[in-house]
Structures are given as structure tokens and as C-alpha cells.
Amino acid sequence: MYKAVSPLDGRYASRMTKHGEYFSEYALMYYRCKMELLYIMALDEAKLFEPLSSEEMEKIQDCIDNFTDKDYQRIKAIEDVTKHDVKACEMFLRERTGLRDVNMIHFALTSEDANNLAYTFMLKEYRSQVQMPQLKQLLEKLMELAEKWKTIPFPCRTHGQKASPSTAGKEIAVFINRIARVYKDLKEHRFYGKLGGAVGNYSAMLAAFPDFDWLTFCHNFMKKYDIEPNIATTQIEDHDSWAGYFDLSRRLNNIVMDLDVDCWLYISYELFSEKSNANEVGSSTMPHKVNPINFENSEGNLMLSNGMLTVLSDKLCRSRMQRDLSDSTVQRNMGVALGHAYLAIGETLRGLDKLQLNEANCIAELNDSPELLAEPIQTILKIVGVDDPYTLLKKASRGQKPTKESLVELVNGLDIDQKIKDRCNAMESVNYIGDAVRICDLVLENTNAILK
């Protein structure tokens, strides 16, 4: 492992143990065999062949439930001879199941029938068992911070410049809102599959059993496992639904990357900080440093993931006429693309666990920024008929730093009702947060509903 080429299998191997169950070569062989065995059981239910004995059914179920390293090694040994991995699975299943009628195995199928459903089983189970639980964990952590910080005033910036304040919780809620939408879309995403033979027309199946409704049989088979039948295909399933899934995963990556960068920037402005660990080192020469390394690691891994997800989305939707094998090696990298995203979100969670809000710094910066009151004052002056209050406040604040006293003097010099003057003069930057608290509460309420 210390000579692993990929850091996912080397440096980060201890964090990636779950991924081997879904995206390794071992996993691919298992899911191919599982698909073939489920198909045999469906054929048995259709009563097209002699019924399977109870012993045969037990052997089939045992192969699904107890696929071993020895089984995998046997498949690879057969593949060394056949130079065809799907055929090797078929030949292995002949040995492993001991069926009386081995012709039921891979009956009238093409390799792509086994492959597209095997990969789809992999993606569906990875999504439900690994990806969605981690995403839920991220949302719950962000919701914890948003609830904790929802009333605390927070300096905002647009174009890197000071802008109207918010609350720290509401700014976190922005990311919760975005991630929750992708969570919902990922959860509801439908995968498509095909099981129609060499060119997708059920031709070999109908040649053998011309009076049997193979189209309905195959569609029902896929629906049983919550896969949407792709009605019209070439030899291969078009993989558009895979692309949709990869695009959703990439959109999620972009949102998390945005979160990483904002946390990094707020740390650099000393509005956030990270809890220090006495045993950790932030710099080989500067002992004082506590680097936001988790957010940086996350950002880098998300960029790697996005690059690969883009290739997967672009490539796997294209095939020369009925079939070519340029997609085969690309498919084998699904786990690498999703693995970098999983690693990245884990790093973001580590960073969030150490994140602290420097409330005193936030309030001090807002109190030192009376120019932020230019927006609300000029807006109030508009409703009492002051001529062009925007320009009036622009002259008093743009490119210079007004004081609270100078703004009070400006307002008091206007010919307006004293109540309006008092209202403007009573405003403080630290209290100018609009409806931020209620927005935060709404996001938390909506996200809780999505997570249920």
C-alpha cells in the first residue's frame, strides 16, 4: 500500500475502505455475478426452463450472499485464459452454481446487459449507503452551526469590499439551502437500465421463445430493483442517467468548494478561527500557525473529482454506432471520481468540527464600519421625499470613511421630520441584519423536512 500509485489507495486508504465494496475490480465482478444470478431467478419465475431445485436456488443465493476472495480469484484465473471479463463471470457461475441447465446463465444476453446493470447496482447502493449518509452528516453539522450562530451579527463582503451585515448563522444557512436541494435531487434521481440483447431489440430472446413477452419481462425485472427501463437503446444503455447523477455530484462538489473557500477567507479575516491541537504542527518554521488545511485539502480533492466527473458525464453518453469499448476503462474510474469527492467532504467536516466564530471580532469590525449605514439611511430618506438621497450618501461615504457623528450631522441638516432623524441616528451597523434570523430558521425547517 505504501507503493500505491493513487493517494486514495495509499495516503488516504484508511479513510476509503468503504469504496472497495462498490468500485474495486472485486466489486465489479461481484455485481456482474449478482446481476446474472438475479436474472436466472427471474427466468425461473417465468417458467421458460425446467424449474430450479431448492438446492440450486440455495446455491444461487449463497453466491449472492457469500461471494468470496476465492470466487474473485477464480474469475480472474478464467479471464487470464478467455481475455473477456464478462465471459469469465459466466464460466465461473457455471462452476459455482452447479446448475443442471447451465444455459440459463447469461441466456440471450450481451455483455452490456450485465455491465450496465452491474454498474447501476453499484452506483445505487453507493449512493444510498455511503454518499447520502455522508451528505446528511454534512448538512447536520452545518445546521448545528447555523442554529448556534443565527443571531450573531456578521460582516459581509461583496467584491471583497465591506457590505451590509448579516448573521453568521444565515451565511451558513445559504450553503445548507443549496446543499439540501442537491441532497433531494440525488435522493430522487432515477437510474435507467437495459436488458435487450445485442442491439436492444430482444432478438435472441424472441428467436428462442417467440411467444413470450420479453420486453415486459425485462422491464419488470428492472423495475423490481428500482431501475427505470430504457425503452429504446443500441447494444449499450445510453448512460444519460449516469451522466445526470455525475452532474448532480459535480454540482454538490462546487457548492462544497464554495463553502471551503469562504471558510478559508473568513479565517484569514479572523472572523472565524480553528481550534488548535497541541500535538499538531502548522508550519515547519512558524510555530504560531494553525492552517486551514482541511478546507484546502477538500478544495483540491473536489477539483480532481470534478475533472473526472466531467469526463465521465461527457464520455459515457457517447458510443460509436452500436458499441465500442472506449467506455470500458472510463467506467472503471467512477470510484476514483466519487472517492475524491468523499474524501473532500470528509475533510470539510473535519474543518467544520474545528471551526469557531470570533464573535468579538465580528462585532468590532461592524462597530468600526459606520459607512454600512449609508444604505439604510438613503433608503429611509427616499420615502420622505429627500431629493436623490443616494448621491447625498455616496458623497459622504464612497472612497472615504465617515464617522457615526458625520452621518448624524448629515441627517440632522436635512429638512425632514424629527422622528425620521431620530430613526436614522439610532441605527447601528451591528443591528442592521434585516430578516436574517427568520431566513435561517426557514432554511433549517425546510432542511429538516428534506432529511426526514
343 and 427: one domain? no
What angle separates helix 418-425 from helix 374-382, to the nearest 10 degrees? 160
Q: Contacts from 100-108 at CB under 8 Å and sequence distance 24+?
A: 100/50, 100/53, 100/56, 101/49, 101/50, 103/49, 104/40, 104/43, 104/44, 104/49, 105/36, 105/40, 106/36, 107/39, 107/40, 107/43, 107/205, 107/208, 108/197, 108/202, 108/204, 108/205, 108/207, 108/208
User: Where does residue 202 fall: left (phi above 0), alpha (psi -120 to 50 degrees), or beta otherwise?
Assistant: left
Whole-number Å distance between alpha carbons of 267 and 246: 31
Q: Are residues 187 and 251 in the same domain?
A: yes
Q: Are residues 327 and 377 in the same domain?
A: no
Residue 192 is inside which H or E element, if any? strand 192-193
Angstrom distance (rounded) from CA 196 to CA 111: 11
**Domain stops at, among 78, 107, 136:** 107
Contact 205, 213 (CB under 8 A): no
- CA 338 – CA 126 distance, rounded (Å): 10
Domain CATH for 173: 1.20.200.10
Give yes or no: residues 135 and 266 share one domain. yes
What is the DSSP code string of 145-199? HHHHHTTSEEEEEETTEEEEEEEHHHHHHHHHHHHHHHHHHHHHPPPEE----TT
Least confident of 135-144, 276-285, 355-364: 276-285
Active site residues: 159, 283
DSSP 8-state symbol, 156: E
Q: Are 305 and 253 in contact (CB under 8 A)?
A: yes
Same domain for 420 and 363: no
| Same domain membership, residue 141 and residue 60 | no
Distance CA 424, CA 376 (A): 8
E strand or H helix that includes residue 161: strand 161-167
* pLDDT surpasses 50 at 41: yes
Q: Is 447 helix (H, G, I), strand (E, B) or coil?
A: helix
Which amino acid is residue 127, in one-letter code? R
Residue 265: which of 179, 355, 196, 204 has the closest Cα?
355
Instruction: Tell whether 153 is covered by a domain.
Output: no
Residue 159: pLDDT over 50:
yes
Per residue in 297-343, pLDDT (tens digit) is 999 999 999 999 999 999 988 888 877 878 888 999 999 999 999 99
- How far is 423 from 110, CA to CA, in rounded Å? 77
- The whole-number pLDDT of residue 283 equals 47
pLDDT exceeds cutoff 50 at 284: no
Res 397: pLDDT: 85
Domain encompassing residue 378: 369-431
Angle at 155 between CA 150 and CA 158, to 5 degrees: 115
Region label for 344, one of left (φ > 0), alpha (ψ between -120 and 50) or beta (otherwise): alpha
Residue 154 lies in a domain: no
Q: Looking at the structure, do residues 254 and 346 belong to the same domain, yes or no?
A: yes
Q: How far apart are CA 109 and CA 344, in angstroms?
A: 39
Number of domains in the chain: 3
Residue 147 contacts residue 169 (beta carbons within 8 Å): yes
- Same domain assignment for residues 5 and 84: yes
Report which of 105, 102, 132 is spatially closest to residue 35, judged by C-alpha positions. 105
Q: Say how far apart CA 310 and CA 238 lie, in whole Å.
A: 16
* Helix 25-46 with 54-65: angle, nearest 10 deg: 150
Mean pLDDT (whole number) for 345-362: 97
Residue after which a domain boundary falls, among 367, 393, 419: 367
Q: Is the dihedral of CA 320, 323, 328, 330 positive or negative?
A: positive
Q: What is the pTM of this model?
A: 0.92
pLDDT tens, position by position, 194-247: 999 999 999 999 999 999 999 999 999 999 999 999 999 989 999 999 999 999
Residues 334 and 410 in one domain: no
As a whole number of angstroms, the distance between CA 9 and CA 16 comes to 8
At residue 398, the pLDDT reads 84
pLDDT at residue 277, rounded to an integer: 63
105-142 confidence digits (pLDDT tens): 999 999 999 999 999 999 999 999 999 999 999 999 99
Q: Work out the widest C-alpha separation in the chain, in whole angstroms.
A: 100
Q: What's the pLDDT at 321?
A: 81
**Confidence (pLDDT) at 21:** 93
Q: Are 130 and 18 in contact (CB under 8 A)?
A: yes
Residue 438 lies in a domain: no
Whose CA is closest to 258, among 298, 311, 307?
298
171 and 64 in one domain?
no
Both 359 and 414 in one domain: the answer is no
| Under 8 Å between Cβ of 232 and 107 | no
Look up residue 382 and give its three cell numbers: 427616499
Residue type, 33: C
**What CATH number does residue 56 fall under?**
1.10.275.10
Residues in the chain: 452
For residue 441, is it within any domain? no
3-state secondary structure of 107: coil
Does any domain span residue 264? Answer: yes
Count the Cβ atoms, other than its own, within 10 Å of residue 295. Answer: 27
Are 328 and 308 in a shared domain?
Answer: yes
Per-residue pLDDT at 290: 64
84 pLDDT above the threshold of 70: yes
What is the per-residue pLDDT for 289?
47
Ramachandran area for residue 321 (φ above 0: left; ψ -120 to 50: alpha; else beta) = left
